[in-house]
Amino acid sequence: MVQMAELDWMTYQSRVNTKGCLIFLPVGALEQHGPHMSMNPDVLIPQAIADAVTDRLDNAMVAPPIAYGYKSQQQSGGGNHMPGTTSLDGHTLSCTIRDIIRELVRHGVRRIVLMNGHYENSMFIVEGVDLAIRDSHHNGVEDLNIMILSYWDFVGDDTIKRLYPEGFTGWDLEHGGVMETSLMMHLYPDLVDISKIIDHEPAEFPPYDMFPVDPSLTPASGTLSSAKNATPEKGEILMKVCVTGITDAVRKKFSSIPIISDPAR
C-alpha cells in the first residue's frame, strides 16, 4: 500500500496528477474498548482496511488517519465519562475533516474516500464533507467527489449469520464485542488479551438518552456486548468481506464519475 505521508512531495504530486488518483482518509477515535483491548481499534481497523483496498486499486493512497473522534455515546461506545476515552467536540471533527479535504483539493486531489471506524463520527464526517464541497464550489472546483463509508456496513446478513450463530445484537452494541475484537485478533494480536475478556449479557438501555449520563447503565467492563466468541478466524472473514465489498464499491463508483477539470487527472 502507498502511505501518503511516506512519499516525498514530488512523488506525491506526480501521483496526484496521474489519472484517477484516489485518497483514503481513515477517521477513528481514541476510546476505551474494554479491559481486553487497546484503545485504538477505531483507528487501526479502518486504516488496515484502507491499506488493503489501496493494494487492489490503481493509484490510490492512504492519508494519515484522524486518530480522535466525536464523543463516545453511552448506547454505542459506553459513554464519554470512561477513563481513556479522549474525544473531540463535533465541530472540531467536522472542521478538521473540512481542512484536510481543502488541502487535498489544493494539491489537485478530486477523489476521496472517508473510511469511518467509530460509529459516533458519522454525521460529523458528513458535515465536514459538506463544508468542504461547499467551499470547493466557491473556489470553482466542480469535480470533487467524496465517498463516506463505515466499514461494518459492508458486512452483510450472510456473514452476520455465519459469525453470530447465537444471535446478533446490532452494530451499536458491538462496541468492544465480537466484531472489533475478532478484527483486532486477526490484525493486531499483540493488542488483545483474551484472558481479560469479561463475559456479560448485552447492555440494556432505555429508548432515550439522559444527560448527564448515568454511568451505572454502562457495563463495568466498558464493552456493550461480550467478546467471548471472538476469534482471529472471524476477524479474517470480516476483513475479507469488508475489503472486497469496499474495493468493489470504490471501483464501481469512481470509474463512472467523469473528470471535468483537468484531462490529465
Nearer to Zn ion among residue 180 and residue 203 (C-beta): 180
Q: Please identify which of the residues 58, 118, 193, 201 carries the catalytic annotation.
A: 118
- Residue 37 has phi, psi (to 5 degrees) of -145, 150
Residue 76 Cβ, how far from Zn ion at the closest point, in Å? 9
Instruction: Give the interface size with Zn ion as a residue count (CB under 5 A).
Output: 2
Q: Please identify which of the residues 33, 36, 174, 186 carries the catalytic annotation.
A: 33
Q: Please identify which of the residues 31, 36, 174, 186 carries the catalytic annotation.
A: 31
120 counts as catalytic: yes
33 counts as catalytic: yes
Q: Which residue has the cell 447492555?
A: 203
Q: Please identify which of the residues 36, 42, 174, 186 carries the catalytic annotation.
A: 42
Cα separation values, 189 from 38, 46, 63, Å: 10, 16, 24
Q: Which of residues 169-198 bind Zn ion (CB under 5 A)?
A: 180
181/192 Cα distance (integer angstroms): 7
Nearer to Zn ion among residue 12 and residue 34 (C-beta): 34
Cell numbers found for residue 6 = 511516506
**Do residues 15 and 34 make contact, with C-beta atoms less than 8 angstroms apart?**
no
Nearer to Zn ion among residue 69 and residue 128 (C-beta): 69
**Do residues 23 and 81 make contact, with C-beta atoms less than 8 angstroms apart?**
no
81 counts as catalytic: no
Residue 118 Cβ, how far from Zn ion at the closest point, in Å? 6
Q: Which of residues 27-86 bind Zn ion (CB under 5 A)?
A: 42
What is the CB-side half-sphere exposure of residue 82 using CA atoms within 13 A?
29
Cell numbers found for residue 171 = 452494530
178/85 Cα distance (integer angstroms): 20
Cell numbers found for residue 17 = 496528477
Residue 42 Cβ, how far from Zn ion at the closest point, in Å? 4
For Zn ion, the nearest residue by Cβ is 42
180 counts as catalytic: yes
236 counts as catalytic: no
> Max alpha carbon distance in the chain (Å)?
59
66/64 Cα distance (integer angstroms): 7
Nearer to Zn ion among residue 151 and residue 254 (C-beta): 151
Q: Please identify which of the residues 36, 120, 174, 186 carries the catalytic annotation.
A: 120
Nearer to Zn ion among residue 42 and residue 219 (C-beta): 42
138 counts as catalytic: no
Residue 82 Cβ, how far from Zn ion at the closest point, in Å? 12
Query: ∠185-189-190 over CA atoms, to 5°?
Result: 150
41/30 Cα distance (integer angstroms): 8
CA–chain centroid gap for 187, Å, is 15
Residue 64 Cβ, how far from Zn ion at the closest point, in Å? 19
175 counts as catalytic: yes
The residues annotated as belonging to the active site are: 31, 33, 42, 118, 120, 175, 180
Q: Which residues bind Zn ion (CB under 5 A)?
A: 42, 180
